Structure 1
Amino acid sequence: MYIRQECLLSFEEILNLQPQTKLELVLSQIDLSDFEIAFKRSRFGPKGYDPTPMLYALIAAQLEQIRTVKALVQRLKQDPVFRYCCCFEVCGQVPSEATFSRFLTKISESEDLQKLFHKLVIRAKELNIIDGETVAIDSTKMDAFESPKPHSKLTDNGLTPNWGAKRDTNGNQVKWFGWKLHILSDTKSELPLEISVTPANVYDGTVALPLIEKLFESFGDLFKPRYYAMDSGYDFNYIYDAIVNDYQAKPVIAYNPRGSKSAPEGLDNDLQPICSAGYKMVYWGTDGDYIKLRCPHVCGKVDCVHGSNWCSNSNYGYVRKVNYKKEPRFYSYPFRGTEKWQSIYNQRTAVERCNSRLKEYLNLGNIRAKGIKKALTHCLLNSIALVAGTIAANSGQSKLKVA
């Protein structure tokens, strides 16, 4: 007669004794109490399912790069550890593929995911992971789940995918059918602070100010960036004017000549101010809202054949003063071409690394649902996973390194 020996610990207790996995660490940073109150118990399925484990499972799918809802359901059924990490009953049933699809539709119609994302950003700021002094704005392409359509059959209503084109980091022209994800990123942590999804044909420059406005609407005075770094796709007068005069910050944006054959009057092709003799004037600091530019001959930078008397009778030499708040595009502060300007502009690559992490280490480049609302939901799930993972990596409970 054989007697089965009883296990001293339950399956859950055994899992609790093991070292925390990456998935457990990341999901432990996500507080779904408000989400659970908003949705209560889902009525999807014959007995209904708690929305908390369903949302954990959707976030876990991004971390594990699970491509489809069908594959997610299969993983939940076959992997008890994965099921336990997502807070489902270890021996219980899991939602069906149809149940998850209806749940995705429901959360796409609400703003709860955006609120959850903002809560994580606030927590990262409180932990000094996010600085917020310098932010960068850029976009990245996302292919649509829908089949590509010719231009003649497209409806340009802002809600459906469209054809887009932009140059990659190597200068190659890339064309795709789908969406653009626009990100306002903190340059210190390289984490997204605000995101927006548009059809691929929407020009980057038109989304910058709505993103900045959304940042202040979402966080109030928590973030007051001093510098906004952007590439030449955002080189528009109205963006400079709004950042300088409405948000009391400094735009650091690359110049875009847009096919012009000559530089504006008083500037060379590098957008540097020149004197009447054609030499680059010397930046000499600021005086209040005014940028001071001095004669290069007097400053010893050039040997002008006309001498300093050509422009001024003063021994100090000719001085040009320009109000950078009135002409922020051509006379920016920090002054374009200085080490400080270049140092801040170089931080713009932080948003590119944010895009790269969302695509390479998470699941951003794999949209499996139609419509702009579900595309935004997909982006929010990945952004939540990225911010939560960074918090977990920087918390004192683990030495886990998250890419």
Structure 2
Amino acid sequence: MEAYEQSLGPFQKTIEAMLPYTYDELLIALPRHAARCDKKNTKGRMTSYYGFKANLLVDTDSQYILSGLFSSANPNDQRMAVVLLKGLLLKFPGLKVKHILGDKGYDCAAIYQLIHSLGAYPAISLIHHKDPPAGMNLDYTPVCAQGHAYRYDSFDAKYETLKYTRPSECKGCALSGTDCQKVFKIRMQTDLRLHTYPARGSESFTTLYNKRTAVERVFAYLKEYFGMKRTRHRGVRASVDFQLSTLAYNLSKFALDKLNQQMRSSQQVA
């Protein structure tokens, strides 16, 4: 069994087993042939298609494409995320990344571990494999004896600790001095997947997570205006189509930003 597992390539192993590989090793092993993929659509129905897939890292504020990968259709998003994240600091060594956003498809302990190794914090929607323990809700926020969720208060970056304070509903409660404590502090290292900064369920987490829609807008632009929806090539030509589409998008975005900047400057002078 050990000999068999050692013979497997990086994309045939578990997500955790991919982490020791370098970016260059993963890039060489990346499958780039047309393949069949089964996935659920937005209505929850299983669909099947044959071809390729593209994965992108996008700056949600500027909507520039930072990095992209073109591969066979069958590797899941978590595997592609490992490659993209490992290459991020190699391509942009001076870039300071604070948060990495992702939907439920990226909810994997190995992804959280990799994001923390980059000095960033994950904001990823959680898949509930089991019920939370007693004293916590579905966001893994502490709850009082009456079932009210504690309020996310602050984050201590030095110790990576989340601070929660007593719910406003507990003011004047007879249990506040006995069964309900005033403050909860939870270290993120307790479980990197369950405890994030900002805390799940908080307003700041929701605001941050909603920025993820910028990625969907970039994909829509690439499909509608930069030819990714209409390409019918395979192999190297398909990869070149993808690279040209992302390059044209970034150049167009840069030109538009410069034009808008000049227009604002001229209006201020006038």
- TM-score bracket, shorter-length normalisation: 0.7 to 0.9
Letter aligned with residue 243 of structure 2: L
| Residue number in structure 2 paired with 1:361 | 225
Q: 2:255 aligns with which of 387, 392, 402?
A: 392
Cα displacement (A) at 1:281: 2.1
- Could you tell me how far apart the structure 1 residues matched to 2:108 and 2:152 are? 23
Please give the alpha-carbon distance, in whole angstroms, between the structure 1 residues aligned to 2:174 and 2:194.
27
CA deviation vs aligned residue, 1:338-366 (integer Å, no higher than 9, x gap) = 22111111110001001000001111123
Q: Is the partner of 2:200 in helix, strand or coil?
A: coil
Aligned to 1:272: 141
Any idea what SS the aligned residue of 2:93 has? helix
What is the match of residue 151 of structure 1? none
- For 1:166 and 1:368, locate their aligned partners in 2 and report how far apart those are by CA, in whole Å: 21
Q: Bigger radius of gyration, 1 or 2? A: 1
Report the TM-score when normalising by structure 2.
0.75
For the pair 1:286 / 2:150, whether they are aligned, the reply is no
Deviation at 1:277, TM superposition (A): 5.0
Gap change, CA 1:306 and 1:198, over 3 Å in 2? farther
What is residue 169 of structure 2 aligned with on the other side?
A: 301
Cα shift at 1:325: 3.8
Partner residue of 2:100 out of 216, 221, 228: 228
Distance 1:170 1:387 in 2: 32
* AA at the equivalent of 2:127: N
Distance 1:326 1:263, change over 3 A: closer
TM score, norm. by length of structure 1: 0.52
State how far apart, in whole Å, the 2-side matches of 1:189 and 1:286 are. Answer: 26
- Alpha-carbon distance between aligned partners in 1 of 2:139 and 2:185, rounded to the nearest angstrom: 19
The CA deviation at 1:164 is 1.8
Counterpart among 32, 56, 75 of residue 183 in structure 1? 56
Q: What is the CA distance between 1:290 and its match in structure 2?
A: 1.2
8 Å Cα contact 2:142/2:184 also seen in 1:
no
1:380 correspondence with 2:243: yes
User: What displacement does 1:199 show?
Assistant: 1.8
1:251 is displaced (CA, Å) by: 0.8
Q: Work out whether 1:198 is the aligned partner of 2:66.
A: no
Q: Counterpart amino acid of 1:335?
A: A
Determine if the alignment matches structure 1 residue 250 to structure 2 residue 121: yes
Aligned to 1:351: 215
Aligned to 2:13: none
Query: What is the aligned partner in structure 1 of residue 81 from structure 2?
Result: 208
The residue that corresponds to 1:322 in the other structure is 186
Provide the residue aligned with 1:333 in structure 2: 197
Q: Are 1:167 and 1:173, in contact at CA under 8 Å, matched by a contact in 2?
A: yes
Identity %: 28
Matches of 2:172 and 2:74, distance apart in 1: 50
C-alpha distance in 2, partners of 1:263/1:376? Answer: 44
Instruction: Measure, in 2, the Cα distance between the counterparts of 1:306 and 1:328.
Output: 35
Write out per-residue CA displacement over residues 188-207 of structure 1, whole angstroms, 9 at most, x where no aligned residue: 22221100122222111122
Give 3-state SS (helix, strand or coil) of 1:364's partner: coil
SS in 2 for 1:190: coil
Cα offsets for 1:168-217 (capped at 9, x unmatched): 44555442111220000011222211001222221111221220121211
The answer as to whether partners of 1:292 and 1:322 remain within 8 angstroms in 2 is yes
**Could you tell me whether the CA contact under 8 Å between 2:35 and 2:52 is conserved in 1?**
yes
Correspondence list, 1:134-153, <5 A: none
Task: State the secondary structure of the residue aligned to 1:291.
Answer: strand
CA contact (8 A) 1:184 1:211 kept: yes
Q: Relative to 1, partners in 2 of residues 1:306 and 1:365: Cα closer, same or farther, differing over 3 Å?
A: same
Over 3 Å counting, the alpha-carbon distance change for 1:264 and 1:367 in structure 2 is farther
Following superposition, the deviation at residue 307 of structure 1 comes to 0.9
Compared CA separation, residues 265 and 199, structure 1 to 2 (3 A): farther
Q: Which protein has greater RCO, CA pairs closer than 8 Å, 6+ apart?
A: 1
Match of 1:196, SS state, is strand
Go from structure 1 to structure 2 and tell me whether the alpha carbon gap of 1:178 and 1:291 turns closer, same or farther (over 3 Å shift): same
CA distance in 1, matches of 2:81, 2:194: 19
Q: Which runs of 5+ in 1 are unaligned?
A: 1-156
**How large is the Cα RMSD of the aligned pairs?**
2.6
Structure-1 separation of matches of 2:128 and 2:144: 21
Q: How many residues are treated as equivalent by the alignment?
A: 231
